[in-house]
Amino acid sequence: MATDGVKIIDGDTAHDTYWGIMDLYDSGADFDTVNKQYPLIQIDYFDDFDNEIYVTSCALALWEMGLMTDEKLTYVKSVIEKGACVKVWMEEHDQKAGKARQKELDKFWKKISQTNTKIRARKKFRKITTFYFQPDDLLSFQLKDGNYRAVICASIDQYRGQCNYILVPTTYNSNKKPTVEDLKDKEILGRQIGSGYDQKITKERQPGIEKIWALSGGNCNFFFGVIKLAVDHKDFINFKDKFEKVGTLKIIEGFKETGSLGYEGSFERFEKIFGDLENHIKIFQQKKYPIATLCDL
């Protein structure tokens, strides 16, 4: 259960539900498929709080698509009237937060109980096919101090019209332009991610994690993720010439999970981060992990 915010689409469950439905809708799925994959009435759910989050976000999507019916409305109202979220916000936060959630629910109910006269059209998103760089490219760039730094393009992610190059920082810092060989004794920035599972399940969910545990003494139980700097294709055009491919370096697939993700829209951001990388690592509580361990050399 996560009380991220009082709005209808606020928090992981609401975002995953609403955008999951919209992704199906925009991809051309028929309404039967949408209803089967995201049934308004869930037979099994964790508790009334999570069910309210799921049902309201699902209902909003259905209403926007013109799929709301009297039967569905009756069910949505029965869920809202339980007051599960209002109660939790009052108990875990304060009366003000509970009243704010109730206000959002009142507006939401007034909206979906009326006929939607402007059905949301299916959206088509342009997919980028010509890239500046490719996954596994080792990219070098030079800062104002004259030294070269390096990042690895771990992947290129496209979603709903956005195209992001996912760059993973390394600790390379030298007046010599790097080669792949120069990176073998350097590190990648990463972070431990808490695991609520026992060691056996953690290892099943992230194969190879024992190699990371060994760096911390071996008797551990956590997931691992790399630090990711995302640059949008539209932004990268303004400073892509600052970067040069100097080879290929592949991070082992199982180690490409996200430790943290930041969006960088200018080369000045790289100057700031890599100009004093040690301070950046300290502030954001990141750690260094050997490239020899994380990459397929």
Q: Looking at the structure, tell me whether residues 288 and 141 fall in a common domain.
A: yes
Does residue 124 lie within any of the structural domains?
no
The tally of domains found in the chain comes to 2
Answer yes or no: do 179 and 37 share one domain.
no
DSSP assigned state of 171: -
Whether 286 has a pLDDT exceeding 90, the answer reads yes
pLDDT tens by residue, 12-58: 889 999 999 999 999 888 989 999 999 999 877 778 999 999 999 99
Q: Is residue 67 domain-shared with residue 146, that is, in the same domain? A: no
224 and 93, same domain (yes or no): no
The structure tokens 């592949």 sit at 250
Q: Which domain holds residue 166?
A: 137-294
Distance between CA atoms of residues 101 and 153, nearest Å: 41
Q: Which two tokens stand for residue 208?
A: 């190879």
Instruction: List, in sequence order, every residue forming a beta bridge with 188; answer none if it has no partner.
Output: 170, 289
170: three-class secondary structure by DSSP: strand
Please report, to the nearest 10 degrees, the dihedral formed by the alpha carbons of residues 56, 60, 65, 66 taken in order: 80
Residue 65's contacts (CB-CB under 8 Å, 6 or more residues apart) are 21, 25, 31, 34, 119, 120
Structural domain ending residue among the three candidates 112, 127, 150: 112
Instruction: Provide Rg for the chain, Cα atoms.
Output: 23
pLDDT of residue 95: 87
C-beta separation of 4 from 10 below 8 A:
yes
**Listed residue (9, 17, 12) closest to 34, CA to CA:** 17
Contact of 25 with 34, CB cutoff 8 Å: yes
Within-domain flag for 1: no
Q: What is the mean pLDDT of the chain?
A: 93
**Better-scored residue on pLDDT, 219 or 235:** 235
Give the model's pLDDT for residue 290: 98
Domain presence at residue 21: yes
DSSP string, 228-286: EEEEEHHHHTTTGGGEEEEEE-PBPGGG-SEEEEEE--SHHHHHHHHHTHHHHHHHTT-
Shared domain for 150 and 263, answered yes or no, is yes
Is 146:175 a contact under the CB 8 Å cutoff?
yes
Query: Whole-angstrom Cα distance, residue 204 to residue 284?
Result: 28
User: Kind of pairing, strands 287-290 and 162-169?
Assistant: unpaired
Beta-sheet pairing, 187-194 with 287-290: antiparallel
Are 154 and 246 in a shared domain? yes
Q: How many CB atoms lie within 10 A of CB 2?
A: 12
Model pTM score: 0.74
105 pLDDT higher than 90 = yes
Tell me whether residue 132 is in a domain.
no
Q: Give the distance from CA 237 to its chain's centroid.
A: 23
Q: Are residues 107 and 153 in the same domain?
A: no
Q: How many CB atoms lie within 10 A of CB 69?
A: 10
User: Is residue 121, in this structure, part of any structural domain at all?
Assistant: no
Among 34-48, 64-78, 97-111, 190-204, name the one with the lowest average pLDDT: 34-48
Kindly state the tokens that stand for 136: 């596994």
Of the chain, the end-to-end C-alpha distance in Å amounts to: 41
For residue 156, count CB atoms less than 10 angstroms from its CB and return exposed for 0-12, middle for 13-18, buried for 19 or more: middle
Angle subtended at Cα 213 by Cα 208 and Cα 215, rounded to the nearest 5 degrees = 115
Give residue 4's pLDDT band: very low, low, confident or very high (50, 70, 90): low
How many whole angstroms separate alpha carbon 122 and alpha carbon 125?
10
